[in-house]
């Protein structure tokens, strides 16, 4: 990570991975200003402030956060039970940004959830955390206890009359729990199957109560917005939407990691100025711009702006904003095989196209990678992409997300597929580059 700048990097300015700040230290460094200001405002005013900041969800969908909150019924907490849920089930391959926030500054997440609770008039929050984040779980639980003891959680917070408390819930460990309705079902103690919509969680979510589910990075953006105003937040960005973004790079970069930069920074800047460029002897061939469930873009898109509209225009999505690099010495068919293996085993099994289609895709890729494939196998992969990929054919976006790298890869790496068929082997297994393999 880059050195945090409080004015330009509000997400990571107070992050300390060695020893997170306690409530008093957090306050001395500017913490709690957001919730203090929020409590002087009406719930609708808070929602309007966040809406006008153009904060979009950082979990992948990119929906306007304040607009999402506005769909929650307006009754006060004493008249209607409501929930604020933080989605920390960070199991998207190639994505590792929320872990930094949870381990390094959990109080900012807590403050963001408190502000959300005031905005939608809820008095209870739940942090749904990836089960493998053991250190994050320990630090979150400690932070909740510290905040409660310091009067920042519980009844009548800081004498304001506002009640809000938080429970930390470790996930059972399934990728599908990152889908908000499956997450809600898991919290209810049932198998984590997604639900059909409507009703949307904002109206009928956890145990039928109105529920706001946002990503951890999204919640962590809320306190600085309320503390400094939406005009300041909009000024941090390089595009029409507000704020900074936790960008990441994994693969054959010299300095892979996570970097907080203005939203709309180009991938070329992220890769070459912050991640150190490609390792010696490797060339960038393609990349997934926002985690494993986004479509491949070729190296000609290296300087694409990492905002929401630009990757979509190029045929992909910003997703989580953490790019996975494919170099010229790694077999793209092997990479696709690994990705589809993950998605196949993580399907909840609720929908036939996903339950049966993804293992079928994985088997076809295994056959081709092992040098036993035929042209008919490639044709079947194209059929699978057409049948499984479109949104609306399954209860959630798991199958379309799983098919995104395959569908783009069939086009972008068409010659690699054909070479596997012609030569009946993977030429990359000998350590050669794409140019040498051709």
pLDDT tens digits for the chain (438 residues)?
A: 455 676 789 999 999 989 999 999 999 999 999 999 999 999 999 999 999 999 999 988 889 999 999 999 999 988 899 999 999 999 999 899 999 999 999 999 999 999 999 999 999 999 999 999 999 999 999 999 999 999 999 999 999 999 999 999 999 888 999 899 999 999 999 999 999 888 999 999 999 999 999 999 999 999 999 999 999 999 999 999 999 999 999 999 999 999 999 999 999 999 999 999 999 999 999 999 999 999 999 999 999 999 999 999 999 999 999 999 999 999 999 999 999 999 999 999 988 989 999 999 999 999 999 999 999 999 999 999 999 988 878 889 999 999 999 999 999 999 999 999 999 998 786 555 555 555
pTM (predicted TM-score): 0.94
74 and 220 inside one domain: yes
> Where does a domain end: 301, 327, 353?
327
260 and 214 inside one domain: no
For residue 44, being part of any structural domain is answered with yes
Q: Could you tell me if 120 and 212 are in contact, meaning their C-beta atoms sit under 8 angstroms apart? A: yes
For residue 17, being part of any structural domain is answered with no
63 and 192 inside one domain: yes
Nearest one of 266, 236, 190, 297 to 5, comparing CA atoms: 236
Q: Could you tell me if 272 and 295 are in contact, meaning their C-beta atoms sit under 8 angstroms apart? A: no
For residue 1, being part of any structural domain is answered with no
Cα 105 from Cα 95, distance rounded (Å): 18
Residues 6+ apart with CB under 8 A from 299: 283, 284, 285, 286, 287
300 and 354 inside one domain: no
288 and 337 inside one domain: no
28 and 160 inside one domain: yes
What range defines the domain where residue 350 resides? Answer: 332-437
32 and 121 inside one domain: yes
> Where does a domain end: 199, 234, 269?
234
How far from 437 is each of 39, 52, 425, 432, CA to CA, in Å? Answer: 63, 52, 11, 6
Domain count, the chain: 3
- CATH no. for residue 421? 1.20.1440.230
For residue 6, being part of any structural domain is answered with no
């Amino acid at each position: 990570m880059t050195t945090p700048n409080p004015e330009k990097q509000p997400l990571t300015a107070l992050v300390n991975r060695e020893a997170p700040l306690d409530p008093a230290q957090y306050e001395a460094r500017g913490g709690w200003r957001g919730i203090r200001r929020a409590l002087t405002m009406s719930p609708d005013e808070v929602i309007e402030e966040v809406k006008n900041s153009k904060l979009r969800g950082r979990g992948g969908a990119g929906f306007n956060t304040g607009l999402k909150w506005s769909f929650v019924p307006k009754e006060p907490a004493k008249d209607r039970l409501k929930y604020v849920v933080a989605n920390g089930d960070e199991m998207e391959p190639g994505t590792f940004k929320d872990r930094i926030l949870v381990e390094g500054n959990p109080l900012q997440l807590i403050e963001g959830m408190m502000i959300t609770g005031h905005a939608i008039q809820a008095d209870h929050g739940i942090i749904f955390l990836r089960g493998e984040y053991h250190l994050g779980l320990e630090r979150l639980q400690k932070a909740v206890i510290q905040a409660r003891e310091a009067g920042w959680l519980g009844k009548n917070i800081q004498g304001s009359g506002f009640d809000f408390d938080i429970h930390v819930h470790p996930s059972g460990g399934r990728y599908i729990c990152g889908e908000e309705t499956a997450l809600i079902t898991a919290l209810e103690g049932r198998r984590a199957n997604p639900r059909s919509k409507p009703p949307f969680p904002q109206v009928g979510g956890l145990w039928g109560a109105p529920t706001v589910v946002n990503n951890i990075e999204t919640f962590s953006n809320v306190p600085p917005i309320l503390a400094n105003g939406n005009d300041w937040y909009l000024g941090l960005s390089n595009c029409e939407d507000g704020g900074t973004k936790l960008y990441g790079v994994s693969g054959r970069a010299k300095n892979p990691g996570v970097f907080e930069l203005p939203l709309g920074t180009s991938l070329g800047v992220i890769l070459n100025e912050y991640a150190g460029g490609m390792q010696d002897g490797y060339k960038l061939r393609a990349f997934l711009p926002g985690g494993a469930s986004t479509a491949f873009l070729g190296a000609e898109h290296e300087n694409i702006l990492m905002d929401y509209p630009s990757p979509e225009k190029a045929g992909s999505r910003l997703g989580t904003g953490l790019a996975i690099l494919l170099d010229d010495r790694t077999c793209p068919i092997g990479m696709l095989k690994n990705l589809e293996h993950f998605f196949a085993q993580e399907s909840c099994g609720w929908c036939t196209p996903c339950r049966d289609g993804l293992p079928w895709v994985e088997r076809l890729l295994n056959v081709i990678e092992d040098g036993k494939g035929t042209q008919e196998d490639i044709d079947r992969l194209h059929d699978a992409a057409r049948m499984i990929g479109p949104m609306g054919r399954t209860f959630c976006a798991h199958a379309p997300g799983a098919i995104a790298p395959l569908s783009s890869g069939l086009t972008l790496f068409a010659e690699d597929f054909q070479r596997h068929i012609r030569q009946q082997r993977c030429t990359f297994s000998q350590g050669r580059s794409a140019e040498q393999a051709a």
